[in-house]
């Protein structure tokens, strides 16, 4: 009986994850379209709702191509290894109140631990493809993901302090009255930036960097193997948005019966998904050294400062906490603007001078 329940649970979770992945894919293409004065998918199902299914099915039917020079076994393992953690993460995720596969008291710790597996699959994919673009993409991805995990975890420290727990459901319940977004806006900013990097999304999409590395680590993948990477990307996007919603946007908290909480959670998740997509279509991409410098020189010190000041704020009172956070946000904005203005070494004018 227990086995059956577990199997059923797994099935439900996998299907749920897949459906959401597909919906996120649709959102991306549709919203991106509208942001660019286009329409996006229109003809496959209602407003292109079936488009991701058509894409996935088509890729399923395509020839799976293994390059001659590739390391065949590793080449085949990598996509599976990429997709597994994206699903695996849900086993410790609470959906409504205590409705969770397994409510772990170090839930948040486990989420990060599983997410850390993703770069492994990327490096395997990049290495086994025997393609220079893939390899460069893999190098970039690994460096980036490891660097950005650090500020991300550090930024969550404040949240953990506020909830006094690492259990996800406790963290969500601690936000019953005030969302962490209000008390921890700076931590949310850091988490969001780290999230973009973890997801390989613009401005941190260096691992794929279409205009530089063709397709990055998945250049050589075709057919279903490529589809797995493609799905992983969007599954991760949903996962991280879900955690952002839980850690900072109050999760399932909201008025009405408890069951509505699930709807609230989804709405909040898709709000974060929207932000991720929005950023992607508005910004250019960083360069690889700037990316690393940004993490190690800006984000990590800022995250440590955030943890320290949050601790101070908790010792004082909530108003001090919010004031400190807002000051940090302001400081961060100022710092970024400064970097932009000082870009390039020479002292110089901005607009071209005109001669006639």
CB 286 within 8 A of CB 206: yes
Cα separation, 275 vs 145, whole angstroms: 20
Residues 13-52, mask of contacts with other proteins (x by CB under 8 A): ----------------x-x-xxxxxxxxxxxx---x-xx-
Which of 3, 98, 317, 355 binds other proteins (CB under 8 A)? It is 355
Written as six digits, the tokens of 73 are 């076994």
Residue 89 CB, nearest approach to other proteins (Å): 26
- 33/315 Cα distance (integer angstroms): 47
Write down the least CB distance from residue 248 to other proteins, Å: 19
- The answer to whether 223 contacts other proteins (rule: CB under 8 A) is yes
Interface residue with other proteins, options 181, 290, 304, 314 (CB under 8 A): 290
- Each residue 47-76 as x (binds other proteins by CB under 8 A) or -, in order, gives -x-xx-xxxxxx-xxxxxx-----------
The 3-state DSSP class for residue 346 equals coil
CA distance 145 to 95: 27
Rounded CA-CA distance 17/70 in Å is 31
The whole-angstrom separation of Cα 284 and Cα 117 is: 27
Q: Tell me the C-alpha distance between 32 and 278, whole Å.
A: 8
Q: How many residues bind other proteins (CB under 8 A)?
A: 81
Among 210, 260, 297, 327, binds other proteins (CB under 8 A): 210
Contact residues for 250 (Cβ-Cβ < 8 A; gap 6+)? 172, 175, 176, 179, 180, 181, 264, 268
Residue of 165, 174, 202, 310 that binds other proteins (CB under 8 A) = 202
List the x/- string, 127-146, binding to other proteins by CB under 8 A.
Answer: -----x---x----------
Work out which of 1, 4, 315, 346 binds other proteins, going by CB under 8 A: 346
Q: Which of 2, 46, 317, 353 is in the footprint of other proteins by CB under 8 A?
A: 353
Region from 119-127, 234-242, 254-262, 347-355 binding other proteins, contact rule CB under 8 A: 347-355
Token digits of residue 116? 């850390």
Which one of the spans 13-21, 221-229, 247-255, 306-314 is the region binding other proteins (CB under 8 A)?
A: 221-229
CB-based contact 108:166 (threshold 8 Å): yes
Among 119, 203, 251, 313, binds other proteins (CB under 8 A): 203
Neighbours of 250 (CB within 10 A): 24
Q: For residues 174 and 26, give the distance between their C-alpha atoms in angstroms, rounded to a whole number.
A: 33
Of the candidate residues 17, 87, 111, 218, the single one contacting other proteins (CB under 8 A) = 218
* Per-residue contact flags (x/-) with other proteins for residues 250 to 279, judged by CB under 8 A: ----------------------------xx
């Amino acid at each position: 009986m227990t086995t059956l329940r577990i199997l059923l649970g797994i099935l439900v979770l996998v299907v749920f994850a897949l459906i959401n992945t597909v919906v996120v894919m649709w959102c991306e293409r549709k919203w991106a379209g509208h942001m660019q004065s286009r329409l996006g998918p229109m003809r496959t199902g209602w407003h292109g709702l079936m488009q991701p299914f058509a894409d996935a099915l088509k890729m399923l039917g395509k020839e799976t191509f293994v390059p001659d020079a590739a390391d065949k076994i590793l080449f085949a393992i990598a996509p599976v290894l990429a997709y597994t953690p994206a699903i695996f993460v849900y086993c410790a995720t609470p959906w409504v109140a205590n409705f969770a596969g397994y409510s772990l008291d170090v839930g948040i710790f486990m989420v990060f631990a599983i997410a850390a597996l993703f770069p492994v699959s990327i490096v395997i994919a990049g290495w086994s493809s025997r393609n220079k673009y893939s390899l460069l993409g893999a190098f970039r991805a690994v460096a980036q993901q490891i660097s950005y995990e650090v500020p991300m975890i550090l930024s969550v420290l404040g949240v953990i302090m506020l909830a006094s727990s690492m259990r996800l459901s406790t963290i969500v319940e601690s936000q019953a009255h005030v969302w962490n977004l209000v008390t921890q806006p700076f931590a949310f900013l850091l988490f969001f930036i780290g999230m973009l990097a973890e997801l390989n999304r613009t401005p941190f999409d260096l691992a794929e960097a279409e205009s530089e590395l063709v397709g990055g680590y998945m250049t050589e993948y075709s057919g279903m193997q490529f589809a797995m990477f493609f799905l992983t990307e969007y599954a991760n996007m949903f996962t991280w948005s879900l955690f952002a919603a839980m850690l900072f946007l109050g999760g399932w908290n909201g008025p009405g019966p408890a069951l509505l909480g699930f709807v609230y959670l989804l709405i909040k998740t898709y709000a974060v998904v929207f932000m991720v997509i929005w950023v992607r279509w508005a910004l250019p991409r960083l360069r690889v050294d700037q990316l690393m410098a940004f993490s190690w020189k800006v984000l990590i010190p800022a995250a440590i400062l955030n943890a320290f000041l949050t601790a101070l704020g908790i010792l004082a009172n909530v108003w001090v906490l919010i004031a400190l956070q807002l000051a940090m946000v302001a400081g961060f904005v100022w710092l970024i603007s400064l970097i932009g203005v000082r870009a390039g070494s020479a002292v110089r004018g901005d607009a071209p001078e005109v001669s006639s």
